[in-house]
């Protein structure tokens, strides 16, 4: 069978033998490099001898043998060795033939690692992140140029070739023009979800590549439709960032803020492939809690989401409270509150040593409020303490000398001015005793002056100060007189209800983090120099400002989709605010083309999205046809029929070779109901909670709000107890659920209206 395939490929592509030899050599070279890094000199010679015997059968054996000798001279770090081991079975995915102006033509093989011969400097594998590899992603055949450190390099691209290599076997060769590029993309998109993320590097599109390689010294914001490759772009930009800045940045200097732990687990496989597994990966909640350094109990943010989905009397108040706490207005109030704390803490008393003034309070106040204003408030106190200590050390000597001089003068007067021996002796004794006591007293007081002065400054926890502000209507009105007393009372009352339960809500975390950072600063382990945020549409403006200001960096990569903003009640509804008021020098990109979902599924999802009051652009799917989404209307009297139909559909999906299947419910409660329906079925299911990992070979049941950022081969969406309404939040939840599907979508409800399908033309659906 293998020989038949090779003969077929040999017949279809004239360079098959040559390319197969090159692949064999590359893998032997990698093997030799790894061996050299792990073995003794004698073992290396023996390994080299075996490699020569393998190469002897190849047409180009002599040239390859000369290069292979260099592999034994190449010493690599353990990280580099590990990287080569990861790409061993698929060392490269493409080749370009490029001739720089006035130079010889080169054949460059592009992969996920970099490898060169130390003697000849010949490139064995060119890293996809290198400047010349940009020709593969952006260049068409003909005259092409690329940039290196701002300088343009011109040349001629005569060949773009892509390979399909699996487990070290060359399965296919494609010479690329525009038509072939589209075919390769279609084949990649038709692949399965469980390995698509790790293989995306070979089919990165030009508009995605532009974002990945956008200037690294400025923030970027990406508004990307569902399936447009936002996550892919963020991960590959991290990899590119570390490649370009390898000498100045360590992976631990970068941080991914993921929407939840499921997402972190989802991307965990691709990070080692991209060489960035040592990057910090966390959620906003976990990071801010860690940075604050206190145990903070948060009310479940999902409960607020569920309250807002339902029609309740408190809905308008809840929305206002969440929006306000996430607003730039509230950040301004926090700035004023911090100023109030600063001014109330500022030193104003003179520093005295006995009756001598060491430092004027006014001078310390200027130091605290002005000269040291670049420091967190409580760290200014350390500087003030140091200044006082220095002045005491310097002035104490002068004070002691002055006192000694005073007593020496008094002693001299007594010795020569009092004629009565008894009176003179008594006076001299008194002067000497008094001098000794006073000098000792000053020495003792000097030791405690700093401590006594500094203990008047009370350091309070950020949580306590935040509670103080949100517990007093009078204090809040003093800080924010522009806010009506009715709104202040609403805010105070809501906060008191939380504080009574010894808890806070998610929207409180950014203000507390901001307050803590302004007062205490961050510990070294909580500082990062570049931040990558996925699903940023669910962040508030305050959260973004707090991160930028407290981390003291503007190197952010922010990707999101306002159409999927299920937490927009927190305040994020417009990228213009982010562009114009938070990251004013940011590059802004839009991606409306979806590479995930078939056009048939996207047409239905777009009809649902069209119910939004906001004017959001509809997604443009890459033209990839598939099955029409399937709709099954079940009898409410028999939930057993629903479970049986879903079981049959899942088995059909699995027979088609799809491995990742999700059943997405509106809420966690709905997922519990789905789990009961699927109980005792001939299908292995896993009801997933946020902190859990996915179980292999199980159908995943999860709520819509945890599905953001994930993708599956097939998705089933049943409405059992919770129909979707035409309210904005419901529309977004359903849109998120539908756009998780790559290939197949199945819908189940008692009535079409329960899934908003009355707005979808009948010809866009098929009946189960």
Rounded to whole angstroms, the Cα distance separating 418 from 564 reads 97
| Count of C-beta atoms within a 10 Å radius of residue 383 | 14
**Contact (Cβ atoms closer than 8 angstroms) between residue 619 and residue 562:** no
3-state secondary structure of 284: helix
- Determine the longest span between alpha carbons in the chain, in angstroms: 132
Q: What is the 3-state secondary structure (H, E, C) of 602-645?
A: HHHHHHHHCCCCCCCCCCEECCCCCCCCEEEECCCCCHHHHHHH
How far is 450 from 396, CA to CA, in rounded Å? Answer: 13
| Beta bridge mates, 233 | none
3-state secondary structure (DSSP) of residue 89: coil
d(CA 733, CA 199): 29
Parallel/antiparallel/unpaired status of strands 169-175 and 220-224: unpaired
449 assigned ligand-binding residue: no
Task: Give Cα 546 to chain centroid, integer Å.
Answer: 15
662 is in an annotated binding site: no
Helices and strands: H and E segment counts in the chain: 29, 24
DSSP state of 369: I
Cβ neighbours of residue 99 under 8 Å, at least 6 residues apart?
A: 105, 106, 155, 156, 158
552 and 526 in contact (C-beta within 8 Å)? no
Residues comprising the chain, all counted:
768
Q: What DSSP designation does 619 have?
A: P
Interatomic CA distance for residues 508 and 602, integer angstroms: 37
Rounded distance, CA 438 to CA 443, Å?
9
Q: Which of 54, 55, 35, 58 minimizes the C-alpha distance to 45?
A: 35
Establish whether 206 is an annotated binding residue.
no
Residue 153, beta-bridge partner list: 146
Task: Look at the alpha carbons of 122, 127, 131, 134 in this order and tell me if their dihedral is positive or negative.
Answer: positive
Whether 727 has a binding-site annotation, put simply, is no
Residues 6+ apart with CB under 8 A from 141: 157, 158, 159, 160, 177
Q: Alpha-carbon distance 709 to 266, whole Å?
A: 9
Between CA 370 and CA 576 the distance in angstroms is: 33
* CB neighbours of residue 54 within 10 Å: 16
Annotated binding-site residue? 230: yes
Per the CB < 8 A criterion, the answer to whether 226 and 561 are in contact is yes
What CA–CA distance (Å, rounded) separates 727 from 499?
A: 31
For residues 163 and 87, give the distance between their C-alpha atoms in angstroms, rounded to a whole number: 14
3-state secondary structure of 123: strand
Pairing assessment for the beta strands 151-166 and 142-148 based on DSSP bridges: antiparallel
Asked if 446 contacts 392 with a C-beta cutoff of 8 angstroms, the reply is: yes
C-alpha 702/C-alpha 674 separation (Å) is 10
- In the DSSP assignment, the letter for residue 504 is B
Give CA–CA dist 552/546, Å, rounded.
10
Q: Which residues are bridge partners to 173 per DSSP?
A: 163
> Distances from the Cα of 452 to the Cαs of 341, 350, 392, 517, 639, in angstroms?
21, 12, 13, 27, 75
Residues with Cβ within 8 Å of 576's Cβ and at least 6 positions away in sequence, in order, are none
Flag whether 224 is marked binding.
Answer: yes
Residue positions in the annotated binding site?
224-231
Residue positions in the annotated binding site for ATP?
224-231
């Amino acid at each position: 069978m293998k020989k038949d395939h090779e003969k077929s490929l040999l017949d279809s592509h004239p360079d098959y033998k040559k390319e197969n030899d090159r692949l064999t050599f590359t893998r032997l070279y990698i093997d030799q490099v790894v061996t050299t890094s792990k073995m003794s000199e004698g073992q290396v010679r023996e390994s080299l001898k075996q490699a020569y015997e393998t190469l002897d059968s190849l047409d180009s054996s002599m040239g390859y043998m000369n290069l292979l000798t260099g592999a034994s001279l190449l010493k690599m770090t353990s990280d580099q060795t590990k990287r080569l081991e990861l790409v061993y079975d698929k060392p490269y995915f493409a080749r370009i033939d490029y001739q720089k102006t006035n130079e010889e033509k080169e054949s460059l093989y592009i992969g996920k690692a970099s490898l060169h011969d130390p003697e000849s400097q010949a490139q064995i594998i060119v890293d996809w992140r290198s400047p010349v590899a940009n020709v593969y992603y952006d260049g068409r055949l003909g005259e092409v140029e690329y940039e290196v450190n701002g300088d343009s390099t011109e040349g001629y691209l005569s060949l773009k070739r892509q390979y399909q290599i699996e487990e070290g076997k060359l399965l296919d060769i494609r010479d690329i023009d525009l038509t072939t590029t589209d075919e390769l993309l279609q084949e990649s998109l038709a692949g399965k979800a469980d390995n698509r993320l790790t293989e995306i590097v070979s089919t990165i599109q030009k508009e995605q590549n532009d974002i990945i390689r956008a200037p690294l010294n400025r923030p970027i914001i990406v508004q990307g439709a569902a399936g447009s490759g936002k996550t892919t772009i963020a991960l590959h930009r991290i990899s590119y960032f570390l490649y370009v800045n390898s000498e100045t940045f360590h992976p631990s200097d970068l941080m991914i803020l993921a929407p939840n732990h499921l997402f972190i687990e989802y991307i965990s496989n691709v990070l080692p492939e991209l060489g960035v597994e040592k990057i910090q990966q966390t959620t906003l909640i976990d990071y801010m809690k860690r940075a604050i350094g206190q145990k903070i109990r948060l009310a479940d943010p999902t409960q607020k989401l569920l309250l807002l989905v339902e029609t309740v009397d408190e809905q308008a108040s809840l929305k206002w409270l969440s929006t306000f706490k996430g607003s730039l207005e509230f950040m301004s109030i926090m700035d004023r509150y911090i100023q109030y704390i600063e001014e109330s803490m500022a030193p104003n008393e003179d520093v005295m040593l006995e009756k001598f003034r060491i430092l004027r309070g006014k001078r310390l106040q200027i130091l605290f409020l002005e000269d040291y204003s670049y420091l967190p408030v409580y760290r200014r106190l350390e500087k003030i303490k140091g200044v006082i200590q220095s002045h005491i050390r310097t002035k104490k000597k002068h004070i002691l000398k002055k006192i000694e001089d005073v007593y020496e003068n008094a002693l001299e007067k007594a010795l020569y001015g009092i004629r009565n021996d008894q009176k003179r002796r008594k006076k001299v004794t008194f002067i000497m005793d008094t001098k000794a006591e006073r000098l000792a007293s000053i020495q003792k007081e000097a030791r405690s002056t700093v401590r006594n002065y500094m203990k008047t400054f009370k350091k309070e926890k950020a949580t306590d100060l935040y509670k103080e502000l949100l517990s007093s209507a009078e204090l809040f009105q003093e800080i924010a007189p522009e806010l009506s007393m009715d709104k202040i009372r609403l805010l105070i009352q809501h906060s008191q209800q939380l504080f009574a339960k010894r808890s806070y809500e998610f929207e409180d975390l950014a203000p507390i983090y901001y307050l803590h950072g302004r007062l205490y600063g961050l510990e070294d382990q909580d500082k990062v120099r570049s931040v990558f945020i996925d699903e940023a549409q669910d962040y508030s403006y305050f959260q973004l400002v707090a991160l930028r200001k407290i981390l003291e960096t503007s190197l952010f990569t922010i990707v999101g989709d306002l159409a999927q903003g299920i937490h927009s009640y927190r305040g994020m509804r417009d990228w213009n605010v982010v562009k114009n008021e938070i990251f004013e020098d940011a590059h802004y990109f839009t991606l409306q083309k979806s590479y995930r979902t078939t056009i048939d599924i996207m047409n239905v999802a777009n009809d649902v999205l069209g119910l939004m009051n906001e004017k959001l652009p509809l997604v443009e799917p890459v033209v990839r046809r598939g099955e029409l989404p399937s709709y099954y209307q079940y009898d409410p009297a028999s939930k057993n029929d629903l479970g049986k139909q879903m079981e049959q559909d899942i088995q059909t999906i699995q027979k088609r070779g799809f491995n990742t299947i999700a059943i997405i419910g509106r809420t966690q409660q709905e997922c519990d109901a789905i789990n009961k329906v699927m109980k005792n079925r001939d299908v292995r299911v896993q009801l997933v909670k946020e902190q859990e990992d996915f179980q292999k070979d199980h159908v995943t049941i999860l709520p819509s709000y945890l599905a953001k950022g994930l993708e599956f081969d097939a998705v089933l969406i049943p409405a059992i107890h919770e129909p979707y309404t035409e309210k904005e939040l419901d529309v977004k939840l359903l849109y998120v659920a539908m756009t998780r599907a790559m290939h197949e979508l199945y819908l189940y409800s008692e009535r079409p209206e329960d899934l908003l399908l009355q707005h979808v033309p009948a010809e866009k659906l098929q009946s189960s």
